[in-house]
Amino acid sequence: MEAYKKWVRQNKEFVHSLESLANGLTWLLPERFSESEIGPEAVTTVLGIITALNEHIIDTAPKQNISGSVTPYSFPYPLWLSALKDLETLVEVVAQHYYGDDRKWNFLAVTEATKVLFRLSLFRKSGYKMLLQGGETPNDEEHSDSFSSQHIGLKPDGHHRPGYMKNNLGANPMNLEGRALSALVRFGENAKVSDPVRLHRVQHQQQTMELTTSRVDRPTLFTILSERGLRGTLLFIGEVLFISRPLVYVLFIRKYGIRSWTPWFLSLAIDCIGNSFLSIVTSSVVGGKEQVFHLSAPEKDEVKRRKLLFVLYLMRDPFFSKYTRQRLESTEKTLEPIPVIGFLTAKLVELMIGAQTRYTYMSGS
């Protein structure tokens, strides 16, 4: 396994090109959108999981911290979320094949609930940072004010504290626990403690102070909301709505059916409210005052991606069946006489109609 990890990290570009080619070819597999597509969908799922695993291997390449030791890794949330997302389509196909169109929503609800739990846990573990790509991409940007640890370096009035006030252990003269911990480390290195009992006591004190300091430095929900007030609350609610929206959508489809407008409008309303909160909070001026939230470049891209997801509502039933499909078929008939273009248009429309039959392709989750 270590040899494979080393090879992937040394050949990142080749691996990405190979994965893109393989994933693209899966759309040309025979019976891709037929009733017996379990085989092709299983191939697609396996390739997706392998892609997620390779991305995880590349993203978790060993990095040295200041002290020279390898940075420990936490639970691989992005890997599991990517694997769940790829597996969900196979779950949908298998459930539909063996249990029918109506009962498949029970399995999809369980899958969506699992993803919501993972994302909420990641949201909390990351210090309430904005999730990128639904949590599949780590949000490691340090210069982010959206639910990041830098909130601790801000006064309640929104003004930045001096650089030495940031939470760096040992480097912050105002951090008493950091100073005490640094002194304790130096004492352990220089004193040459020979008494095992005393050495154990020193190590225990060091571990206790590290745990206490990490708890203090890590932002909590109460800290963030108290410092950021209404804006922080709106941003938090918006992120929770974005995380929970797919589960709510599936549950209402399970109750009312895919042809009902109720799940469609409710999902649209949740997305509109969440994006509105995000727009209000991150706008340049709020209530005549310059706002204090500053999104990182990846977070700005994530905001744009979430806005683009509204296009999927054109592909979701009942809107698709009543309006979009008619437009696609009309366009296909218009371009059919044109050589090459007519053929490509017909193939594209066929793929779009086939993909639309799968909840997981149009869920945006």
* pLDDT tens-digit map of 210-258: 554 444 455 666 776 676 677 778 888 999 999 999 999 999 999 999 9
Least confident of 243-247, 297-301, 304-308: 297-301
Clarify whether residues 227 and 242 are in a common domain.
yes
Pick the closest to residue 8 from 64, 70, 65, 50 (CA basis). Answer: 50
210: its two tokens: 């590290």
Predicted confidence (pLDDT) per residue in 326-353, tens digit: 999 999 999 999 988 999 999 899 888 8
On whether both 94 and 139 belong to a single domain, the answer is yes
Highest mean pLDDT among 34-43, 127-136, 263-272: 263-272
Whether 34 is covered by a domain: the verdict is no
Domain identity same for 120 and 100: yes
Q: Are residues 318 and 333 in the same domain?
A: yes
Same domain, residue pair 203 and 298: no
Do residues 109 and 239 share a domain? yes
Q: How many domains does the chain have?
A: 2
Asked if residue 15 is part of any domain, the answer here is no
Same domain, 126 and 106: yes
Give the span between the Cα atoms of 263 and 85, in whole angstroms.
21
pLDDT classification of 150: cutoffs 50, 70, 90: very low
Calpha distance 70→64 (Å, rounded): 5
**Mean pLDDT comparison of 12-26, 166-180, 285-299, highest-scoring range:** 12-26
In a domain, 224, yes or no: yes
Q: Supply the pLDDT for residue 297.
A: 87
Residue 20 lies in a domain: no
Whether residue 298 sits in one domain with residue 175: no
* Predicted confidence band of residue 30 (pLDDT cuts 50, 70, 90): low
Q: Is residue 138 part of a domain?
A: yes
Q: 325 and 301 share a domain? A: yes
pTM value surpassing 0.75:
no
**326 and 278 in one domain?**
yes
Residues 224, 209 share a domain: no
Instruction: Provide the residue range defining the domain that includes 136.
Output: 74-148+219-362
Cβ-proximal residues to 146 (8 Å cutoff; 6+ apart), any chain: 129, 130, 235, 282, 293, 295, 296, 299
Whether residue 31 lies inside any domain: the answer is no
Residue 271 is assigned to a structural domain of this protein:
yes
68 within domain boundaries: no
Backbone dihedral region for residue 287 (phi beyond 0: left; psi -120 to 50: alpha; all else: beta): left
Residues 278 and 310 in one domain: yes
217, 234, 250: which is the final residue of a domain? 217
Give the model's confidence band at 300: pLDDT under 50 very low, under 70 low, under 90 confident, else very high. confident
